[in-house]
Amino acid sequence: MDTTTDSGSNAQADRPERLDRRLLIERLSSYWLIGAGLFAVALFALIVLTLVQQSIPIVSEHSLLEMLTSSNWDPASEEFGYLPAIVGTIYVTVLSMAMGTPIAILAAIYIAEYAEGRMKVIVSSFIDVLAAIPSVIFGLVGLIVVVPFVGDYLAPALGTHSIGLGIVTVSLVMAIIVTPFMISLTVESLEALPDELREASLGVGATKWETIRSVLLRAAGPGIFSAILLGFGRVFGATIVPAMLIGGQTAIPESPFDAGETLPSLIVNDFGELMSIPLTQSALIFVGLLLLVIVWLFNFGAMLVRRRLQRRWQY
Amino acid sequence: MTHDTVIRTDDLEVTYTGKREVTALNGVSVDFSENKLTAIIGPSGCGKSTLLKSLNRLHEIQPNAEITGEVYLEDDPVYETDEPLPEIRRRVGYVPQKPTPLPVSIYNNVAYGPKIHGDYSREELDDIVETQLRKVNLWSEVEDRLDSPGAELSTGQIQRLCLARSLAAEPDVLLCDEVTSALDPISAEQVEETLADLKEEYTIVMVTHSMEQAKRLADDVIFLYLGDVIETNDARTFFENPQNERTQEFVEGHAAVEYDDGDDTAPDSTADAPPAE
Amino acid sequence: MDRYAEQRLFGFLARASAALIVAVLLLVVGVTIFRGGRVFLTDPAVAITPPGSRYMLDGGGGFLHAVLGSLFIVVPATVVATTLSLSTAVFLQSDYSSERTSDVINMFLNVLWGTPPIVYGVFVLTVIIAVGAQTSLIFGIVAIAIFQYPIMTRYADEALQSAPDAVKEASYGLGATRFETARVTIRAALPGIIAGVIMGFARGIGDAATVLFTAGRSTQMPGGPFEPATTLPILIFEQAASFNAEVRSHAYAASFVLIVAVLALIIASKLLAGRYARFAPGGRQ
């Protein structure tokens, strides 16, 4: 702004020059900004192209269907069956979401509809802090607290056996990691609702809970739905916690208390040692591509369903 | 007042505490008669909405509202009571200012109250929905699309749907908060016609900022100014022969210039004139 | 009265869920502080001592290499990501792009935002292999910057959008160019942008998956941009389950450092956002 405010008679002479300079800056900066805007697209395209190109060796050598349905993962003898990791990923995702979602939605309801004043500020800043804690710390606390809890108490209590590391352990920790994200998004969508909705429902004699259940959760439904899908994406792509706590076992788990492997943890556990074998490298890069494609599908599906819900549940 | 009183307030005082303390009502005592439409008028921010909402305790969803005094609904206290709040709000229904459909179908908007309060069969519900929609003159416009979202109607239709939704809960009193202010003139007229029909059967309390509307619809009028009741009277006396000087100014000011939002600067503020009764 | 019982039940469940989450947070922070604090009590210099020669075997020395590695990677990455994301966010405003264009770009940003960090790690590693380089500090910077970019763009975009239109109008009304106006808008949106930068920094300093394969996992002091380096999260990841108690204790101490840093960043973000709020019209009473 400092260049524009100059005025007075002595500016008469140098005004064209000054204006030229400003316009030059304007033109140069707009090139840069257009470039920055395109960077997002270019980055995405570059990632996809690189991963696709590097995945070609494995896909041309093994049939895709066979890799996705075979349970034999043994890179040393060129066996690349992803099924154990796929099953492990599904197990972990479903279990942590089943535990995390109801708690997240209930806690969000508490913050948005019940809590008042100081309590509300305190609880929401706690949630913010929880969301910011690095996942590797959750992994560490998982090792110190959750592993013995599952191995020594939970598994025996349920009449089964566990070494502590395994799918249940990962799911418990992931449920904790994923709730704060879902809570903040759910709170946001609940708080964005107009008070008239609450008044309209309470005004015909609904209880607070009936208002929440049949009006507010529905009206905020598209936002809550996005929150849940975002949670799915997070658990699904989580790397560090599964790698630390799942026990690294590339066999199809028989029970959720077994050790296993998720797609991302497969990359971590096998990349280091086997980087030198080109085909294994390609097989693991293919996992990266797989993750990207599934997340992309998630996003796209979420967009469609969201639109539908928004139409159906408009207010 | 010659008619039976359905709901009345007794020295009602509402204060919004918070960053800035605001007294919205200064000890208000008014009566609302059965099967009449009572209009609450006055400049913006004078406590009209607060008075309306305090009748079924809806202002309580705002944090920091403090209230003293009492409201009696057919002699039952509304505040000092064991009766559950939702039951009070069923008996005193509320229609918001902004046309607000619930995020469900047209049918379920109307059936919302009945489904909560009673066990009705599908046929009975169908019946209720049709009856209520006919009452608000909406049935013919929506009978073939009861399953589409309420929000797909026009704002005028939505406001009538909101009326039907409130009526379906079988309230004793219906509170209407400037229900035509967000509508275009034609829709507003339709809603007014509906209200004119309804007041034969229901006790209606309506906040309005339009003096003309109050003249057209109201049986009784309450003039509220800065949290005080300046005058309550039947509509004819109120408009033709106002008892209070400030009412006179307000009525005449509006007769000369029809302004939309009450202008706070219009009358001079010597706010403690006694309510004329 | 059935419906009132239901109302009470769910009111209780909502409170209980919130309490559970608060309790879990206290547990996580508590365990980290307690276990890490104990290590610092016995060996206060562990975070500022370079590692010994057989560090991964006996935990000799300290983990200064990881502390420095984290700083040398995340600080430059945040600078790069801030520049890029702020520029992208400015471009997304209506002055530079049509609604259609920004919708398309936003769609790609959303996909990037939801992409698991491990994918960025694999991507950068693939590039490293393709150009025949070796994993090193500089590629750690690249990976973290890519990871931060969509996060920080979202914060910056939100902040810019919430700046009042009146600021823009006033600026254009004085005859300012788009770029000059953008500078004023950025100033008006500064609290949100700064908060976004700090949150981006916090996310960057805590992430392990992106740098695991790209920074090179070194157990020596960082030697330069083209030498391997390690970060605190990688150190915790690698040493948390070690059989050697001394090595393991370094993981505890490192997580103490990390959690304190992250908490400090959050507080700083709130304070700074408040401090700069005076540039935002109507931002502070």
DSSP structure string for A153-191: IIHHHTT----S-SHHHHHHHHHHHHHHHHHHHHHHHHH
DSSP B129-153: HHHHHHHTT-HHHHGGGTTSBGGGS
Q: Which two tokens stand for residue C64?
A: 């200064």
pLDDT band at residue B254 using 50, 70 and 90 as cut-offs? low
Contact at 8 Å (CB) between C194 and C269?
Answer: yes
pLDDT of residue A13: 56
- pLDDT tens, position by position, A49-81: 999 998 998 888 888 888 888 888 888 788 888
Give chain B's domain count. 1
pLDDT of residue A274: 58
pLDDT of residue A34: 92
Averaged pLDDT, C126-144: 91
User: Helix crossing, B122-135 with B185-198: angle to 10°?
Assistant: 110
DSSP C212-266: TTTTB--SS----TTS-B--HHHHHHHHTT-SSHHHHHHHHHHHHHHHHHHHHHH
B39 pLDDT higher than 50: yes
B132 pLDDT higher than 70: yes
**DSSP symbol at B169:** T
Across-strand partners of B5? B33
Averaged pLDDT, B248-265: 56
Mutating which of A116, A119, A191, A204 best tests the B interface, going by the most B Cβ atoms within 10 A? A204
B111 pLDDT higher than 90: yes
Contact at 8 Å (CB) between B92 and B40?
Answer: no
Record: contact B100-A210, CB cut-off 8 A = no
Residue span of the structural domain in which B142 resides? 5-256
Q: Which of A181, A189, A176, A191 is nearest to A233 (CA)?
A: A181
Spell out where B46-202 has E strands. 65-73, 76-77, 92-95, 173-177
Contact at 8 Å (CB) between B169 and A204?
Answer: yes
Contact at 8 Å (CB) between B203 and B7?
Answer: yes
B192 pLDDT higher than 70: yes
Averaged pLDDT, C71-75: 96
Q: B62 to chain A: which residues are within 8 Å by CB? A: 195
pLDDT of residue C1: 57
Averaged pLDDT, B56-83: 88
Q: Calculate the CA dihedral of residues B123, B125, B131, B135 and round it to 10 degrees.
A: -170
Averaged pLDDT, C50-63: 85
Q: How far apart are CA A85 and CA A73, in angstroms?
A: 9
C220 pLDDT higher than 60: yes
**Residue C31 C-beta-side C-alpha neighbours within 13 Å:** 16
Query: Which residues, at least 6 apart from A12, have a Cβ–Cβ distance to it below 8 Å?
Result: none
pLDDT of residue A290: 92
Q: Which of B13, B9, B3, B4 is nearest to B77 (CA)?
A: B9
A114 pLDDT higher than 90: yes
C284 pLDDT higher than 60: no
Contact at 8 Å (CB) between A314 and B103?
Answer: yes
pLDDT of residue A6: 46
Contact at 8 Å (CB) between A252 and A83?
Answer: yes
- CATH number of the domain at B215, please: 3.40.50.300
7-26 in B: which are within 8 Å (CB) of C? 19
Q: Is residue B274 situated within a structural domain?
A: no
Q: A197 to chain B: which residues are within 8 Å by CB? A: 100, 102-103
pLDDT of residue C264: 92
A186 pLDDT higher than 90: yes
A3 pLDDT higher than 50: no
Give the amino acid at C61: G
Q: Is residue B39 situated within a structural domain?
A: yes
C280 pLDDT higher than 70: no
A7 pLDDT higher than 50: no
Please state, rounded to an integer, the average pLDDT across all residues of chain B: 85
Across-strand partners of B276? B231
Q: How far apart are CA A294 and CA B85, in angstroms?
A: 49
pLDDT band at residue B259 using 50, 70 and 90 as cut-offs? very low
b/e string for C131-140 if b means 16 or more Cβ within 10 A? Answer: eeeebbbbbb
SS3 state at B21: coil
pLDDT of residue C283: 42
pLDDT of residue C109: 92
Q: Which two tokens stand for residue C77?
A: 């990455």
Averaged pLDDT, A248-252: 86
pLDDT band at residue A217 using 50, 70 and 90 as cut-offs? very high
Please give the share of chain A, as a percent, with pLDDT higher than 90.
Answer: 57
Domain boundaries, chain A: 11-61, 69-312
Kindly calculate the radius of gyration of chain B based on its CA atoms and give it in whole angstroms.
19
Q: Which of A92, A76, A63, A88 is nearest to A286 (CA)?
A: A63
Q: How large is the ipTM?
A: 0.91
Spell out where A25-162 has E strands. 73-74, 79-80
Q: Is residue B268 situated within a structural domain?
A: no
Contact at 8 Å (CB) between C214 and C158?
Answer: no
Averaged pLDDT, B198-203: 90
Record: contact C87-A32, CB cut-off 8 A = yes
Averaged pLDDT, B139-159: 92
Across-strand partners of B203? B173
SS3 state at C101: helix
**Nearest-CA distance B80 → chain C (Å):** 19
C106 pLDDT higher than 50: yes
Q: How far apart are CA A139 and CA A244, in angstroms?
A: 6
Averaged pLDDT, A137-150: 95
Chain C: residue whose CA lies nearest to A105: C14
B257 pLDDT higher than 60: no
pLDDT of residue A52: 94
Instruction: Count other C-beta atoms under 10 Å from residue C265's C-beta.
Output: 18
**Nearest-CA distance B149 → chain A (Å):** 6
**C188 touching A, CB under 8 A?**
no
pLDDT band at residue C46 using 50, 70 and 90 as cut-offs? confident
**B87 touching A, CB under 8 A?**
yes
Averaged pLDDT, B78-94: 90
pLDDT of residue C276: 64
Chain A: residue whose CA lies nearest to C85: A36
Record: contact A206-B112, CB cut-off 8 A = yes
Please state, rounded to an integer, the average pLDDT across all residues of chain A: 88
pLDDT band at residue A187 using 50, 70 and 90 as cut-offs? very high
Give the amino acid at A306: R
Q: What is the largest CA-CA distance in chain B?
A: 58
Q: How far apart are CA A149 and CA A140, in angstroms?
A: 14
Q: How far apart are CA C97 and CA B14, in angstroms?
A: 50
Spell out where chain B has E strands. 5-16, 22-28, 31-33, 37-41, 65-73, 76-77, 92-95, 173-177, 203-207, 220-225, 228-234
Chain A: residue whose CA lies nearest to C184: A1
Q: Which of B52, B45, B39, B24 is nearest to B261 (CA)?
A: B45
Instruction: Count other C-beta atoms under 10 Å from residue C148's C-beta.
Output: 29
- All domains of chain C in start order, with CATH: 46-279 (1.10.3720.10)
Contact at 8 Å (CB) between B136 and B84?
Answer: no
CATH number of A69-312: 1.10.3720.10
